[in-house]
Amino acid sequence: MKQDLCNSFLKEGEILRQMNHPNIVKFSKVIETETRFFLVMELVEGGSLKAFMEERFKLGKSFTDEEAATLMRAIFSAVQYIHSKNIVHRDIKPGKSSYSDHDT
């Protein structure tokens, strides 16, 4: 089971490394230690979409139709790109990816 998880993680890393789209975070490599795997990715400043949405909500502001359309176009463009590579994303959400908590 543990070896299957390791192999799956490494395979996912290889898939991520092949992604080249302006709306997908750049991935460079997997670092493996005795107890963990680390994904080395581009630094994206400004926080997650979830944090941005929560901040807007706290301020009592909503997205304009134009802002929402811009965000959705960016997301749909990235999804269309990965689908063109015969990849299905199973974890689309505005917050952090679940990868950050995986241990081997």
Catalytic residue numbers, as ranges: 91
Angstrom distance (rounded) from CA 92 to CA 19: 16
Contact 37/104 with Cβ under 8 angstroms? yes
Its sign, for the CA torsion 74, 78, 79, 83, is: positive
